[in-house]
Structures are given as structure tokens and as C-alpha cells.
């Protein structure tokens, strides 16, 4: 008989024994075997679980009683997270895991999703969590974690939670049965950021590079996208980065909605990966609904992108600050960097058809970035818009120059 797929189930029995039993029964009835990781602390639990609380504590160098004696839920959980990660990875090493499901409130979600984040992209990861309705970024991070909202608290079974738990378990089992380890394409990998406002540029870049034998991963740079791009750069063998959507930097500097913090773009620069920069989307910051945008950025020019998001025009001072910030990052680069500047617009908003067009401001940024960059970083200026084919083709040519020796790329 063919071995059944293995699913790692992360549920604490000291508070969620009924839910754990219910989900386990469904998983097994759907044709998968369960490896139950139980990180309970409060009470002794079923000794038949595959990975017990005692084993988890021991993996972190403590007894379970020593964990309890810490007397602080945060400190206790930190130990159990450390042990849970070690135990989960050891289980995966011994018996490959084809899927993961977790159930919990804020504490259980924190533990389970840290474990999930240590597993490779592609392995199904399902989290049933009371945190799923809105507050998800700290738990999902840049990984492919699916979150189910149980609607009710995870406190026994009722007519709603039975359906949610059942759906989550059935989905996990189905994905686990279909899962096969990701086959790494023998192609050089390019990571690139974008938004729809520069799609004409980035789609052309992607298609051109794909035609040349590259794999291109494109990330939506609204905070989480840039974070994911940088994490991929840290984890994978990336041939080059096309960092041409800089709104996350603007929002970090100006407290916009899409900030990814001060570390954005550092991964490739620190790793020595070639980077092609362009000031795509540098013409605006992102705020919330129009009334919020006007209160946050009074006296600016606004474009209501939709009812939830407003683009706020950057002016000369914000563009100068962006140039200074980027210059500081790029000065630390350990690999080659080029900067490409279109002088007729940085996004669709900043075009004759857009609502924030100001042709006087692109040269302001070009002058500022040249003053801020080290002498070994060339600045290429183009008398065109970022979405013009000429500009995209120049970026492609630079990527090819940087990566012409990469395995799998066309000669």
C-alpha cells in the first residue's frame, strides 16, 4: 500500500483537545497520516501524541517544569517555539511532511506560524486563527500561509466552527495529497518589484527576460511585497534584482501605508547581488481614504485610487529625501548597482493621462540622486516615460550584462 502523506498538526491539547481530536479525525478520514505537535504548557496531556510537550521543551534545553517555572507567558512561549521548530524540522527530515495545519488564538498562532515559516515555499500551510480577520502580517510574513477565520472563539465546537475546522482540514488534506516538492528550475532567477502603475514597464521586462531563459519573480510592492522580495533574495540564489518600484521607501520616509521599514532593498545590496534601480512610483506616497490622506498630508495633490487608497503627490523635498535615503543604502552595496531615471514620468499617475503629472519634478530627482550616489554607481537618464518600451529595454540590457554568465541564460 502506498505511504499516505504526512500532515503536521500543531494544536495544544491543554486548551484545545476537542478541536484537535475533531481535526485529526477528518484529516485521517481524508487519507493522510497525522504528526501531532503539542506545545502545551499548562497541563499534562495525552502521552500518545507524536511530538509531546516534554520533547519540545527538551529540544530547547529545558524540562517542561522549568518552562512553567519561568512564570511569564512570553518567555515560556519563546522556549516552546524554539523547541517546536527543532522538533518539526527533525520530523520532516525523518518523514517528509506534505502539509501543515495549525489551530489557535494569538499564542497558538504565533507558535504555529513561526514553525510554518521555517518550511519551504510550496508545502501547504493552513492556520485556523482568531487573528485571521485583519491582523495577519506578523503571522504570515512573506510565506505562503493560508489563514482561516473561525468567526467564533476557538472554544469547543459549534455549528460555525465545525464547518470552519472541517473545511480547513479537508483543504489541508487535499493539498497534502497533491503536494510534490518544488522542482527548482535550472534558470537564473530575477526578482522584480512592481505596481499596476508601472506595469507597461515591468511586464515588458519580465517577458523579455523570460524569452532569454530567465525565471522572473514579480512582487507587488505595497509593504508585504517588498518584504517578500527581500526574503527571497536572502533565501535563494538570485542572479539580479530589478528594484524599480520605490513607493515602499517613500512610505517609510513619510509614514505612508506601504512602508516596509528601513531594511527594504538591503538584502541584495548586502549579498552582492547586482541591482538595477529606477524611481518607479517615486511620484507618490500611499495613504488611506481621501479624507485620511488630506488630514495626514495637508495641502498636497491627491488622486483617489479607490475608496480605500489615495495616492499623494511627492514634491521636490520628498524626492530629495528619497534620493538621500537610497544613496545611503547603495553606498553599502557589495555588488554592482546601476540607477536608471526616466525624465518624463515615474508612473502612470505621473503621465499626461494621469492625475499627478508634474514634468518638472523628474529632473529634480535625477539631480538629487546623482549627488547622493557613490562615484562607482552610474546614473542613466532617459528622455522618456518609465512605461515607454525604450526604458524597459534598457533595463533588460543592463540585467543581461550583469548576468550573462549565469547558468541557463541564453548566450
Nearest 5°: the CA angle 259, 295, 299 is: 100
Taking the C-alpha atoms of residue 245 and residue 351, their distance in angstroms, rounded to an integer, is 16
pLDDT at 75 > cutoff 90: yes
**According to the model, what pLDDT value does residue 184 have?**
64
Beta bridge partners of 127: 102, 147
Q: Quote the percentage of the chain above a pLDDT of 70.
A: 96
User: What's residue 251's pLDDT?
Assistant: 97
Whole-prediction pTM value? 0.82
CA-wise closest residue to 131 among 158, 102, 156, 169: 102
Per-residue pLDDT at 301 exceeds 50 = yes
pLDDT, position 233:
96
Confidence of residue 410 (pLDDT cuts 50, 70, 90): very low
2-55 pLDDT, tens digit per residue, is 689 999 999 999 999 999 999 999 999 999 999 999 999 987 667 789 999 999
Across 297-310, average pLDDT: 96
User: Does position 395 have pLDDT exceeding 60, yes or no?
Assistant: yes
Q: Give percent above pLDDT 90 in the chain.
A: 89
pLDDT at 406: 56
Q: What is the mean pLDDT of residues 278-297?
A: 97
- Encode pLDDT of 336-353 as tens digits: 999 999 999 999 999 999
For the cut 50, the answer to whether the pLDDT of residue 1 exceeds it is no
As a whole number of Å, the end-to-end CA separation of the chain is: 48
Alpha-carbon span 344 to 342, nearest angstrom? 6
Q: What CA–CA distance (Å, rounded) separates 213 from 377?
A: 27
Distance CA 53, CA 44 (A): 8
Angle between the N-to-C axes of helices 316-330 and 361-372, in degrees from 0 to 180, rounded to the nearest 10: 30
pLDDT at 408 over 60: no
Q: Give residue-wise pLDDT tens across range 128-177.
A: 999 998 778 888 988 999 999 999 999 999 999 999 999 999 999 999 99
Position 113 pLDDT exceeds 70: yes
pLDDT band at 110 (very low <50, low <70, confident <90, very high): very high
DSSP 45: -
Predicted local confidence at residue 45, as pLDDT: 67
As a whole number, mean pLDDT of residues 90-118 equals 95
Amino acid at each position: 500500500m502506498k505511504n499516505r502523506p504526512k500532515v503536521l498538526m500543531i494544536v495544544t491539547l491543554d486548551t484545545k483537545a476537542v478541536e484537535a481530536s475533531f481535526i485529526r479525525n477528518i484529516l485521517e478520514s481524508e487519507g493522510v497520516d497525522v504528526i501531532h505537535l503539542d506545545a502545551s504548557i499548562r497541563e499534562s496531556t495525552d502521552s500518545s501524541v507524536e511530538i509531546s510537550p516534554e520533547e519540545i521543551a527538551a529540544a530547547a534545553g529545558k524540562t517542561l517544569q522549568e518552562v512553567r517555572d519561568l512564570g511569564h507567558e512570553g518567555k515560556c512561549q519563546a522556549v516552546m517555539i524554539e523547541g517546536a521548530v527543532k522538533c518539526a524540522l527533525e520530523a520532516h527530515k525523518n518523514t517528509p511532511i506534505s502539509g501543515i495545519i495549525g489551530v489557535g488564538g494569538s499564542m497558538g498562532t504565533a507558535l504555529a506560524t513561526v514553525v510554518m515559516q521555517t518550511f519551504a515555499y510550496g508545502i501547504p500551510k493552513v492556520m485556523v486563527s482568531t487573528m485571521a480577520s485583519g491582523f495577519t502580517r506578523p503571522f504570515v510574513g512573506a510565506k505562503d500561509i493560508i489563514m482561516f477565520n473561525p468567526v467564533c472563539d476557538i472554544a469547543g465546537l459549534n455549528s460555525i466552527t465545525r464547518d470552519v475546522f472541517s473545511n480547513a482540514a479537508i483543504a489541508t488534506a487535499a493539498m497534502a495529497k497533491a503536494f510534490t516538492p518544488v522542482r527548482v528550475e535550472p534558470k537564473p532567477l530575477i526578482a522584480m518589484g512592481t505596481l499596476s502603475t508601472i506595469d507597461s514597464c515591468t511586464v515588458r521586462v519580465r517577458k523579455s527576460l523570460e524569452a532569454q531563459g530567465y525565471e522572473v519573480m514579480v512582487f507587488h510592492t505595497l509593504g508585504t511585497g517588498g518584504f517578500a522580495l527581500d526574503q527571497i533574495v536572502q533565501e535563494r540564489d538570485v542572479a539580479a534584482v530589478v528594484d524599480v518600484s520605490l513607493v515602499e521607501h517613500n512610505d517609510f520616509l513619510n509614514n505612508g501605508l506601504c512602508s516596509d521599514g528601513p531594511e527594504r532593498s538591503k538584502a541584495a545590496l548586502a549579498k552582492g547581488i547586482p541591482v538595477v534601480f529606477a524611481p518607479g512610483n517615486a511620484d507618490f506616497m500611499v495613504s488611506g481614504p481621501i479624507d485620511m490622506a488630506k488630514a495626514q498630508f495637508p495641502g498636497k495633490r491627491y488622486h483617489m485610487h479607490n475608496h480605500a487608497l489615495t495616492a499623494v503627490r511627492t514634491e521636490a523635498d520628498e524626492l530629495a529625501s528619497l534620493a538621500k535615503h537610497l544613496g545611503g543604502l547603495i553606498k553599502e552595496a557589495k555588488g554592482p548597482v546601476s540607477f536608471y531615471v526616466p525624465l518624463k514620468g515615474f508612473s502612470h499617475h505621473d503621465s499626461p493621462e494621469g492625475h499627478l503629472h508634474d514634468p518638472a519634478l523628474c529632473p529634480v530627482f535625477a539631480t538629487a540622486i546623482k549627488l547622493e550616489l557613490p562615484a562607482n554607481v552610474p546614473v542613466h537618464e532617459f528622455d522618456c516615460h518609465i512605461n515607454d518600451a525604450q526604458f524597459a529595454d534598457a533595463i533588460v540590457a543592463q540585467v543581461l550584462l550583469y548576468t550573462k554568465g549565469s547558468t541557463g541564460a541564453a548566450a
